[in-house]
């Protein structure tokens, strides 16, 4: 018998609000993950994840890991760099910086081009570095949830066209929520996870890899034992298994979430997200909030809100009041502004956004905060 699960509205940038079907999909008979039945689940999951971003089965393959998005980021950074390779990491937020920290952990040399967090990447400066330093690997975050800025794929892909660079793309918070077409923008390594725009449960990360680039790693010594990208791929190809115990229930939930996505349609999901974002953005502006980014820079998945300069305003106070009403909001991550963040990724609809805005207004009144332009002096 299915239990009645209270619905919470998560406006943090993942894990996301999930459907009951995804939650219930975790309740399955016990099964050893070495059984062929479970191997078949992995095989079809790997294949169908390619469909979401129009990745050809002839050119691309999916490698699954148990872990968060950071696990697959770690796997790619630690696995793909040959000692003779050169890496440039483009940074305009915390997750680009995380790539640098992973490279530092493994003593991987790299160049770093950093902008102020929330500012557009300087691709002209990146071009000069690639030319001057002979860079052959380039890494970028697509949707940088530190601020919600969307870094453009069309400029990123130019480095492959002009210089033949191997491209590493963090699509952890854009896969299935923002348009990506690997037929048009053929990156070599794309990373994502089950619990963001895919709307599954946390616990599964994956890399979508160009087969030619991936197979070339056979003779590159990985710096990680557990997260060896090539060996995990090889095991999945030969045995239909991950090398080590996978999160079985989270994978069944991921399968259900992917089925929901394919039934909804990727274009329809992106449209739903954009509608939710537009409704949320207009509602926040109507309440008097100031947003960090210009609309043209936004991902249409997340908004960063500048906290008003009101002595009564407290993020903790606002968070706690809204949490009591079933809504989760998220603290800011920008080092030079007091901000908080709201994301619309997940199983959310316009009525959820409207309900949130009503409760946000009531919560502001409860903590005795009145937003007006004077609070942004």
Q: Are residues 284 and 228 in the same domain?
A: no
pLDDT exceeds cutoff 90 at 374: no
Q: Are residues 201 and 349 in the same domain?
A: no
Residue 132 burial (10 A CB sphere; 0-12, 13-18, 19+): exposed
Q: Are residues 73 and 170 in the same domain?
A: yes
- Structural domain includes residue 6: no
Give the 3-state secondary structure of 93-157.
CHHHHHHHHHHHHCCCCCEEEECCCCCCCCHHHHHHHHHHHCCCEEEEECEECCCCEECCHHHHC
Structure tokens at 60: 């691309």
pLDDT exceeds cutoff 60 at 373: no
Nearest to 201 by CA among 20, 73, 6: 20
pLDDT of residue 1: 58
Mean pLDDT of the chain: 96
205: pLDDT confidence band, cut at 50, 70 and 90? very high
Q: Are residues 283 and 202 in the same domain?
A: no
Rounded Cα gap, residues 290 and 310, in angstroms: 13
Structural domain range at position 70: 22-264
Q: Are residues 56 and 205 in the same domain?
A: yes
Q: Which residue has the higher pLDDT, 335 or 79?
A: 79
Q: Are residues 125 and 77 in the same domain?
A: yes
Rounded Cα gap, residues 9 and 328, in angstroms: 6
Q: How many CB atoms lie within 10 A of CB 309?
A: 11
Indicate which CATH number applies to the domain containing 283.
Answer: 3.90.1150.10
- Structural domain includes residue 164: yes
372: pLDDT confidence band, cut at 50, 70 and 90? confident
**Domains identified in the chain, total number:** 2
Indicate which CATH number applies to the domain containing 34.
Answer: 3.40.640.10
Give the 3-state secondary structure of the chain.
CCCCCCCCEECCCCCCECCHHHHHCCCCCCCCCCCHHHHHHHHHHHHHHHHCCCCCCCCEEEEEEECCHHHHHHHHHHHHCCCCCCEEEEECCHHHHHHHHHHHHCCCCCEEEECCCCCCCCHHHHHHHHHHHCCCEEEEECEECCCCEECCHHHHCHHHHHHCCEEEEECCCCCCCCCCCCCCCCCCEEEEECCCCCCCCCCEEEEEEEHHHHHHHHHCCCCCCCCCHHHHHHHHHHHCCCCCCCCHHHHHHHHHHHHHHHHHCHHHHHHHHHHHHHHHHHHHHHHCCEECCCHHHECCCEEEEECCCCCCCCHHHHHHHHHHCCEECEECCCCCCCEEEEECCECCCHHHHHHHHHHHHHHHHHCCCCCCHHHHC
pLDDT of residue 336: 81
CB 9 within 8 A of CB 348: yes
**Residues across the chain:** 377
pLDDT digits (tens, 9 = 90+) for 258-276: 999 999 999 999 999 999 9
Of 264, 291, 320, the position where a domain reaches its end is 264
CB 24 within 8 A of CB 255: no
- 373 backbone dihedrals φ, ψ, rounded to 5°: -55, -25
Q: Are residues 132 and 169 in the same domain?
A: yes
Of 264, 283, 315, the position where a domain reaches its end is 264
Q: Which residue has the higher pLDDT, 2 or 13?
A: 13
333: pLDDT confidence band, cut at 50, 70 and 90? confident
Rounded Cα gap, residues 186 and 159, in angstroms: 11
pLDDT of residue 230: 98
pLDDT of residue 14: 95
């Amino acid at each position: 018998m299915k239990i009645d699960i209270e619905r919470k509205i998560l406006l943090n940038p993942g894990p996301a609000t999930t459907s009951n079907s995804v939650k219930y999909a975790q309740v399955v008979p016990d099964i050893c993950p070495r059984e062929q039945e479970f191997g078949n689940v992995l095989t079809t999951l790997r294949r169908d994840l390619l469909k979401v971003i129009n990745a050809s089965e002839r050119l691309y393959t999916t490698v699954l890991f148990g872990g968060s998005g950071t696990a697959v980021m770690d796997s790619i950074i630690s696995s793909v760099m040959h000692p003779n390779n050169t890496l440039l990491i483009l940074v305009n937020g915390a997750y680009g910086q995380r790539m640098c920290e992973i490279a530092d952990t493994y003593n991987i040399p790299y160049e770093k081009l950093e902008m102020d967090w929330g500012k557009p990447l300087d691709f002209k400066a990146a071009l000069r570095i690639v030319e001057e330093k002979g860079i052959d690997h380039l890494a970028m975050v697509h949707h940088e949830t530190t601020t919600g800025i969307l870094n453009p794929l069309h400029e990123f892909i130019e480095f492959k066209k002009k210089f033949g660079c191997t491209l590493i793309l963090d699509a952890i918070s854009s896969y299935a929520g923002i348009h990506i077409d690997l037929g048009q923008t053929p990156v070599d390594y794309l990373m994502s996870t089950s619990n963001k725009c895919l709307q599954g449960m946390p616990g599964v990360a994956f890399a979508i890899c160009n087969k030619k680039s991936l197979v070339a790693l056979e003779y590159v010594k990985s710096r990680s034992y557990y997260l060896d990208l090539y060996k995990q791929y090889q095991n999945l190809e030969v045995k239909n298994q991950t090398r080590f115990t996978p999160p079985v229930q989270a994978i069944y939930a991921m399968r259900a979430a992917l089925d929901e996505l394919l039934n909804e349609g990727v274009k329809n999901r992106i449209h739903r997200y954009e509608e939710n974002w537009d409704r949320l953005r207009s509602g926040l502006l109507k309440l008097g909030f100031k947003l960090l980014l210009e609309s043209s820079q936004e991902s249409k998945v997340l908004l960063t809100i500048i906290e008003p300069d009101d002595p009564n305003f407290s993020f903790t106070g606002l968070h706690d009041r809204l949490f009591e009403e079933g809504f989760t909001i998220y603290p800011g991550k920008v080092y030079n502004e007091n901000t908080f963040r709201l994301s619309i990724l997940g199983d959310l609809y316009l009525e959820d956004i409207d309900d949130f805005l009503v409760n946000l207004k009531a919560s502001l009144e409860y903590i005795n905060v009145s937003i007006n332009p004077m609070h942004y002096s």
